[in-house]
């Protein structure tokens, strides 16, 4: 199951390796080796991160790496489009460094590290021992070795005339990384981007325009208000996000499209001159293939982000322990923000008995602690959908604002005390409540289905 989920991520890494091999022709061995090692470092490094900082911090780190790569792409794209207008501007002083094996190695290693980190984010959180760690490293290494050599073999099959420009290579690498990460909810960049755009637009309109746009203003007719109203629509964030999302790839494609053709005026024979020109145009067309494909990959990433295949928000239960006094304390802030309106599941074990429960902030702002089971169904637990939680057993949707109340197929509430910095639950009562609930429902057989 995990392996199936990993397939798209690993394939996009293989795509990255292939593009890098194309982008640095003649540096195959460097690119292959650094890619493999980068991937292994990425996987194991992220694994260690997850071990030392549980919760959302590792996700944040990987997500920032992705964000930085996207910003970097933006910078590059603006620079190349500016240069393609013919201005002789030197953007990057070390430009001659670009085609060295050092640069090839660094780019391949960094890209593969991020790709590996994204893969690692998909791995289930296990009790990590040194053994699993070594096994993981070995597995990642073997996998990376196989795929990198598959990519190498494929690259050798391709005709050398399919060249990739440096910018084309970068845009493809970033596109593949983002496409790979967009299917992981916590790494996704596009949705937060559109949220930020929407918020930004609203803040801008509020803060800077409010003063001049009082409703009865002389110069602001009612139809103008309709246009201003558009700025507050739900779509603003989406379309604004789209623009930001696709612009770099478009700019790079444009820059390649407007590349100067070689000067052929000195060749006197028309046929020969035109043959050269046609060859140059064909070559440019080949170089455009990768950026155009990258646009499609970006679109796939945006689509995945917009319509995530994950139907329900269902985090893995985090193990918690009780204090000597038998109390479980869950902090409000920290690696998990209890008050973010999402379901947070925990697992409490004591003396061979265990209880699964979750903490949730209802839309009206009330914290509630409930068993991950209801009084009537088998304890299959709950997932969170939009505006409701769903009981996995009977598939009943329960409105979010009724979570925390007993009855029906609602999750069984647990008594807790809310403090300013967290919630406190009595461990023994929790275990007992779980025990009696599960006992009561265990007799409900798999009737009918």
- Tell me the closest approach of the beta carbon of residue 285 to another protein, in angstroms: 12
CB of 422 to another protein, least distance (A): 26
Contacts 24+ apart (CB under 8 A), 159-165: 160/25, 161/283, 161/286, 162/22, 162/286, 162/289, 163/22, 163/25, 163/283, 163/286, 163/287, 164/19, 164/22, 164/23, 164/287, 164/290, 165/23, 165/256, 165/287, 165/290
Alpha-carbon distances, residue 379 vs 51, 202, 225, 399 (angstroms): 29, 44, 53, 19
3-state helix, strand, coil in the chain (%, to 5): 55, 10, 30
91 versus 278: smaller Cβ distance to another protein: 278
Question: Closest Cα to residue 62, out of 4, 2, 123, 145?
Answer: 123
Is 188 or 372 the residue whose CB approaches another protein more closely?
A: 372
CB of 161 vs another protein, minimal distance in Å: 16
In the complex with another protein, the residue whose CB is nearer, 56 or 388, is 388
- Site residues (vs another protein, CB under 8 A): 269-275, 277-278, 281, 376-377, 388, 394-399, 402, 405, 407-410, 444-445, 447-449
DSSP state of 205: I
Q: Which is nearer to another protein, 97 or 444 (CB)?
A: 444
CB of 225 to another protein, least distance (A): 19
Please check whether residue 202 is in contact with residue 210, taking contact to mean a CB–CB distance below 8 angstroms: no
3-state SS, 70-139, equals HHHHHHHHHHHHHHHCCCCCCCCCCHHHCCCHHHHHHHHHHHHHHHHHHHHHHCCCCCCCHHHHHHHHHH
Q: Which is nearer to another protein, 407 or 435 (CB)?
A: 407
Least distance between another protein and beta carbon 404 (Å): 10
* Cβ nearer to another protein, comparing 408 with 435: 408
Q: What is the phi-psi region of residue 426: left when phi exceeds 0, alpha when psi lies from -120 to 50, beta otherwise?
A: beta
CB of 57 or CB of 279, closer to another protein: 279
CB of 347 to another protein, least distance (A): 25
Rounded to a whole number of angstroms, the minimum distance from the CB of residue 374 to another protein is: 9
């Amino acid at each position: 199951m995990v392996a199936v989920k990993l397939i798209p991520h690993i394939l996009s890494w293989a795509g990255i390796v292939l593009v890098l091999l194309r982008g640095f022709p003649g540096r195959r061995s460097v690119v292959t080796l650094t890619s493999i090692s980068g991937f292994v470092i990425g996987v194991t490094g992220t694994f260690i991160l997850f071990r030392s900082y549980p919760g959302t911090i590792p996700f944040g780190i990987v997500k920032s790496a992705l964000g930085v790569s996207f910003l970097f792409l933006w910078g590059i794209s603006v620079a190349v489009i500016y240069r393609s207008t013919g201005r002789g501007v030197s953007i990057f002083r070390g430009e001659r460094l670009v085609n060295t094996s050092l640069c090839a190695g660094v780019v391949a290693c960094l890209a593969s590290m991020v790709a590996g980190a994204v893969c690692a984010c998909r791995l289930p959180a296990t009790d990590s021992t040194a053994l699993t760690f070594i096994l993981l490293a070995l597995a990642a290494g073997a996998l990376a070795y196989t795929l990198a050599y598959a990519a190498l073999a494929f690259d050798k099959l391709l005709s050398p005339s399919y060249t990739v420009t440096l910018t084309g290579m970068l845009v493809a690498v970033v596109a593949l990384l983002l496409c790979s990460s967009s299917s992981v909810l916590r790494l996704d960049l596009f949705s937060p981007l559109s949220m930020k755009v929407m918020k930004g637009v609203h803040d801008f309109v509020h803060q800077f325009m409010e003063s001049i746009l009082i409703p009865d203003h002389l110069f602001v007719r009612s139809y103008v208000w309709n246009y201003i109203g558009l700025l507050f629509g739900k779509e603003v964030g989406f379309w604004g996000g789209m623009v930001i999302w696709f612009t770099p790839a478009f700019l790079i494609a444009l820059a390649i499209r407007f590349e100067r053709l070689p000067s052929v005026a000195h060749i006197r024979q028309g046929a020969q001159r035109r043959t050269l020109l046609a060859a140059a145009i064909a070559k440019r067309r080949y170089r455009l293939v990768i950026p155009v494909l990258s646009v499609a990959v970006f679109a796939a990433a945006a689509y995945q982000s917009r319509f995530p295949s994950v139907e329900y928000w269902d985090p893995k239960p985090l193990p918690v322990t009780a204090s000597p006094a038998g109390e479980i304390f869950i902090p409000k802030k920290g690696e998990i923000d209890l008050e973010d309106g999402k379901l947070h599941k925990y697992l409490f074990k004591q003396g061979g008995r265990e209880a699964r429960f979750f903490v949730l902030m209802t839309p009206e702002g009330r914290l509630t602690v409930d068993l991950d089971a209801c009084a009537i169904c088998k304890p299959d637990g709950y997932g969170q959908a939009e505006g409701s939680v769903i009981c996995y057993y009977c598939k009943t949707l329960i409105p979010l604002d009724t979570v925390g109340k007993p009855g029906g197929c609602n999750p069984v509430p647990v008594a807790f005390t809310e403090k300013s910095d967290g919630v406190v639950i009595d461990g023994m009562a929790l275990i007992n409540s779980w025990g009696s609930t599960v006992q009561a429902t265990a007799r409900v057989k798999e009737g009918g289905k």
